[in-house]
Chains A and B, each alone.
Chain A
Amino acid sequence: MTRRFDLVVIGGSAGAIEVLGKVLAGLTDRFSPAVAIVIHLPPEGPNVLHEVFATPGSPPMKPAEDKEPINPGTIYFAPPDYHLLVESGRTFALSQDDRLHFSRPAVDVLFESAAEAYGDRLMGVILSGANSDGAQGLRAVADAGGMAVVQALESAEMIAMPAAALEAVPDSIEVNVSALADLLRTHGVLNDR
């Protein structure tokens, strides 16, 4: 039986936008888990990632809102300058707690809170990036029984983030960009019966 997930959390910084563009373009509205994404961006920037990635036929995309129930098949983005967290009742929360790894939103904050709320129904994915944010978070995902996935170093524009994640979770699944798209489809698309 193929393992199923209720939530996929994805984190990245420098070099992650291009990868995400390719991976998200491979998803359709038959993709069933919710997806929550943290990308490090300048704090004053506009809240527009959901517009950047939307294509005709892609799953619904939107900025995550405070207290919003997490809906299956929807792709959510952390707004600039706020941490994005998952509450145990499977809703989102935002906060302006201190930056972590100089970042707000921080990948660790999303991943650690999601691990508590979703346990083994969670997949965590670390993409290209220039600092070590996300490593601890991916450790928490794996410790809670979730699946840990890391962008293969040779395919990453910036290796610091995936390298730190691999060090924290050595038995993570390593994937290049097209393998990541396949992996998401394998575990996330419900087959027609």
Chain B
Amino acid sequence: MAIAELEVRLLLEAIFDRYHYDFRSYAMASLKRRLAQACDSLHVTTVSGLQERVLHEPESFSQLLQYLTVQVSDMFRDPGFFLALRRQVLPVLATYPSIKVWCAGCSAGEEAYSLAILLHEEGLLDRSIIYATDINAQSLRMASTGVFTLERLRGFTENHRRAGGKCSLSDYYHASQDSKDLVIMDASLRRKITFSDHSLATDNVFSEMHLITCRNVLIYFDHALQTRALRLFSDSLVRGGFLGLGSKESLRFTEASEQFTDFSLPERIYRRKAS
């Protein structure tokens, strides 16, 4: 095994033993690049150096965590996906007396708030509950405050409109008292979302769901971890429940296609088989 490869494996083992975050089954090629960036920013020259730092200085682990996970997100990212949810999926969910949605890998809450807005606009939010989970504590903290910069939210206005938004996105937030550049999502949305720590690599089923979205998370996993996550999703979904993936993710190269049927291939929406 090449030395660089060995160093990465040892680091991931050390992180798992010491901090119980399991990155051992992440997609290696991009993880290695992020580790190289982390080395630069933590001023160490090798991944072994990184290991020494995170074992002996726990504060530097939370810094490293920002490199190990990719936090890119937008509200109503890929508007066509949310439009398909609105037009094709929510009418089916509307037949259930209560609706449970799981947004897995929620980052700072962009996707969870988008789902809450969508459910509200279709008259379903009152009887829905959204579980939004991630492993990045910093992002989860931000998400549960519901605070975003005004500039970012303005940038999402067009996405919301293209997702079939029924009013202005600005109806869903108000100015923060702390700063004129910050806004807070409405309490009526925040009340309906539970943000919590849950790892697709190490944690298990926690409730029965009608819709699961896990977007732009599986691309950072290797094949084995993808399989684990997809199993978790099929075990969590009610029969006929929906799974929405990111625009560049699919069940094509996984074995999970046995547990799901295609619902909207262009928007990467699948349904758990009935039996």
User: Counting chain B CB atoms within 10 Å of each CB, which of A67, A68, A69, A91 scores highest?
Assistant: A67
Complex: A182 Cα to B72 Cα, angstroms: 42
What's the minimum C-beta distance from B174 to chain A, rounded to whole angstroms? 30
Complex: A112 Cα to B115 Cα, angstroms: 38
Asked whether B14 is an interface residue with its Cβ less than 8 Å from the other chain, the reply is no
Contact between A83 and B252 (Cβ–Cβ < 8 Å)?
Answer: no
Contact residue among B70, B248, B252, B253 (Cβ-Cβ distance under 8 Å from A97) = B70
Q: Are A96 and B29 CB-contacts (below 8 A) given A65-B252, A66-B249, A68-B253?
A: no
Contact residue among B34, B222, B248, B252 (Cβ-Cβ distance under 8 Å from A79) = B248
Asked whether A86 is an interface residue with its Cβ less than 8 Å from the other chain, the reply is yes
Contact between B248 and A82 (Cβ–Cβ < 8 Å)?
Answer: yes
Closest to A109 in B: B33
What's the minimum C-beta distance from A36 to chain B, rounded to whole angstroms? 13
Q: Are A93 and B27 CB-contacts (below 8 A) given A65-B253, A67-B253, A109-B33?
A: yes
Complex: A70 Cα to B219 Cα, angstroms: 16
Asked whether A186 is an interface residue with its Cβ less than 8 Å from the other chain, the reply is no
What's the minimum C-beta distance from B70 to chain A, rounded to whole angstroms? 6
Interface residues of chain A: helix, strand, loop or mixed (majority): mixed
Q: Are A97 and B29 CB-contacts (below 8 A) given A65-B248, A66-B219, A79-B248?
A: no
Contact between B30 and A85 (Cβ–Cβ < 8 Å)?
Answer: yes
Asked whether A131 is an interface residue with its Cβ less than 8 Å from the other chain, the reply is no
Asked whether A178 is an interface residue with its Cβ less than 8 Å from the other chain, the reply is no
Contacts of A82 in B (CB 8 A): 248
Contacts of A65 in B (CB 8 A): 248, 250, 252-253
Contact between A97 and B30 (Cβ–Cβ < 8 Å)?
Answer: yes
Contact residue among B220, B222, B250, B253 (Cβ-Cβ distance under 8 Å from A95) = B220
Complex: A186 Cα to B29 Cα, angstroms: 31
Contacts of A97 in B (CB 8 A): 30, 33-34, 70
- A contacts, CB < 8 Å to B: 65-69, 79, 82-83, 85-88, 91, 93-98, 109, 112-113, 116-117
Given contacts A85-B30, A85-B33, A86-B29, 7 further A-B contacts (CB under 8 A): A67-B254, A88-B28, A91-B223, A94-B219, A96-B72, A97-B33, A112-B33
Q: What are 17 pairs between A and B in contact, CB < 8 Å?
A: A65-B248, A66-B248, A67-B253, A68-B252, A68-B253, A83-B30, A85-B29, A87-B28, A87-B222, A88-B29, A91-B223, A93-B29, A95-B27, A97-B34, A97-B70, A109-B33, A112-B33
